[in-house]
Amino acid sequence: MRVRRIAPVDLEATTVAAIVDGAFGFYGGPYWQWKYADPGGPDAVIMLAEEGAEIVGCNHYLVVPYQLGEHTLTGLAGGDLFVNPEFRRQHIATDLSLESRMLVTEAHPEADFVVMFTWQALGSHYEKLLGYTKLKPGYQQWSKRLSWEPQLARLTEANEGLLTKHPGLARANHALRLEVKGAPPLDLKVGPEGFTPGRPDGIPKVRLRVSGPDALSFGRSGVPLVWMVAAILTRRWRFGGSPKALRQATSVIAAYREALRTLK
């Protein structure tokens, strides 16, 4: 594998922008163009990894002045490393990280440090293999859900499947008020139509209080029953309401599991 620096105006950069669209779903070519190829942005370093004539990956750095207390130091903000999906699981990311870091520090001897952002799952990799130190988190992310509309649309679409998989729903007739911290309350009717928006009067009601949107993050495989029990025991989930409605909810708990996953 060969690693070399390219300029945003090089032909290869266009290919990189196209690959980025496939490699990062949320990211896209326009975002890449803005971040690394905008003439009014900070100096960008684009490092290309090639295997023969094939582009197998890319890594990026921005040269930025960091304020550190009373000091201003030059930092290389690295990130957005990607490996062409066809060449994954060949240690290209590790090799590209190390090689590109060496090249970028040679090209920018004035730089004092390299800083990278990565997801928690990759953290130990960065510490053990790449020699980085984890920083104390200096910021806190805050969030507020303004509307449940997209989630409700997904839930409505999922109802048919829920009714087929969970025939017990046909016998249910209660209302659910979902109170997730950091979101407006959501009222649903649980019955032969599945989970439908609304809070009808005259039927027993269940209230589920969830400690925050994190507590609705179940991962890809859905909510394991054991996780649900743990959430209730640790009071991240708190059920309340009429005993009749709670009995009904318990009898269709598997359907609840899927519906709540849809509302994530």
DSSP string, 160-206: HHHHHH-GGGGG--EEEEEEETTS--EEEEEETTEEEE---TTS-EE
Residue 216 found at the interface with other proteins (CB under 8 A): no
Choice from 139, 164, 198, 202 touching other proteins (CB under 8 A): 139
In this structure, what token pair is assigned to residue 164?
């087929």
Residue 35 found at the interface with other proteins (CB under 8 A): yes
Beta-carbon contacts of residue 163 (< 8 Å; ≥ 6 apart): 169, 170, 192, 193, 194
Choice from 113, 218, 227, 239 touching other proteins (CB under 8 A): 113
The dihedral through the CA atoms of 149, 151, 152, 156 has a sign that is: positive
Residue 201 found at the interface with other proteins (CB under 8 A): no
- If binding means CB under 8 A, how many residues of this protein chain bind other proteins? 65
**Which of these, 238, 136, 258, lies nearest to 195 by C-alpha position?**
258
Choice from 7, 10, 18, 42 touching other proteins (CB under 8 A): 42
Residue 1 found at the interface with other proteins (CB under 8 A): no
Which region among 118-126, 196-204, 242-250, 256-264 touches other proteins (by CB under 8 A)? Answer: 118-126
Site map for other proteins, 217-236, x if CB under 8 A?
--------------------
Which region among 61-69, 198-206, 239-247, 250-258 touches other proteins (by CB under 8 A)? Answer: 61-69
C-alpha span between 256 and 246 (Å, rounded): 12
CB of 141 to other proteins, least distance (A): 5
Give the distance, in angstroms, between the CA of residue 138 and the centroid of all CA atoms in the same chain. 20
Does residue 145 contact residue 184 with C-beta atoms inside 8 Å?
yes
User: CA angle, 85 as apex, 84 and 87 as ends, to 5°?
Assistant: 70
- Residues lying near other proteins in the complex (CB under 8 A): 28, 30-31, 34-35, 38, 40-42, 62, 64-73, 76-77, 101-102, 105-106, 111-120, 123, 126-127, 130-150, 181-182, 212-214
